[in-house]
Amino acid sequence: MWAISMASRQYGFNNTDWSYKRRPCRQNSTATPNKIVVGGSQNWTFGINYADWALKNGPFYFNDTLVFKYDPPSDTNTHPHSVYLLPNLWSFLKCDLSRAKLVASETQGGGDGFKFVLKSWQPHYFACGGGAGFHCNNGTMKFFVMPMFRRRY
């Protein structure tokens, strides 16, 4: 009897803790679209866990702009980045670029960055095309976005 009571108390605590963590912590339910730099101050870079970044910085909304910033190819930057959209979850998991759509070339991430507006209500599987999948696989340069509809007040 004691064990059951403790078990339910434990469950209740976990449940409270979990729902607390799920509360949105970003002021993003405003009426105007947001402009979000992918990766924050670290930009679009090899070795950043963008799935983790997207979880912490989302949700993203319809008409929000994602900004991809990365340096163009040069003598010192011989492993440049790019941005691709992968066609489905399977290619996303495998970092299979064979049917991917080029969104931003190696030179388009300079300056203020390449801007991608979330205009279609569908899953977006973003990945870097660098190293023919190496940046996506080993550099964790991939993330998933499903734009949400903004609540009007």
Interaction between residue 81 and Cu ion (CB under 5 A): yes
Give the binding range for Cu ion (CB under 5 A) out of 12-20, 94-102, 119-127, 137-145: 137-145
Interaction between residue 48 and Cu ion (CB under 5 A): no
Hey, which residues between 28 and 47 contact Cu ion (CB under 5 A)? none
- Which residues lie across from 68 on neighbouring strands? 114
Q: Give the shortest CB-82-to-Cu ion separation in angstroms.
A: 7
Q: Give the shortest CB-50-to-Cu ion separation in angstroms.
A: 10
Pairing of β 35-37 and β 65-68: parallel
Interaction between residue 135 and Cu ion (CB under 5 A): yes
- Contact between 72 and 106 under an 8 Å Cβ cutoff? The reply is yes
Q: Which is nearer to Cu ion, 69 or 81 (CB)?
A: 81
3-state secondary structure the chain: CHHHHHHHHHHHHHHHHHHHHHCCCCCCCCCCCCEEECCHHHCCCCCCCHHHHHHHHCCCECCCEEEECCCCCCCCCCCCCCEEEECCHHHHHHCCCCCCEEEECCCCCCCCCEEEECCCCCCEEEECCHHHHHHHHCCCCEEEECCECCCCC
Give the binding range for Cu ion (CB under 5 A) out of 15-23, 94-102, 113-121, 132-140: 132-140
Site size toward Cu ion (CB under 5 A) is: 5
Give the binding range for Cu ion (CB under 5 A) out of 15-23, 29-37, 106-114, 138-146: 138-146
Q: Which is nearer to Cu ion, 95 or 141 (CB)?
A: 141
Q: State which of residues 50, 128, 133, 143 lies at the interface with Cu ion (CB under 5 A).
A: 128
Residues that bind Cu ion (CB under 5 A): 81, 128, 130, 135, 141
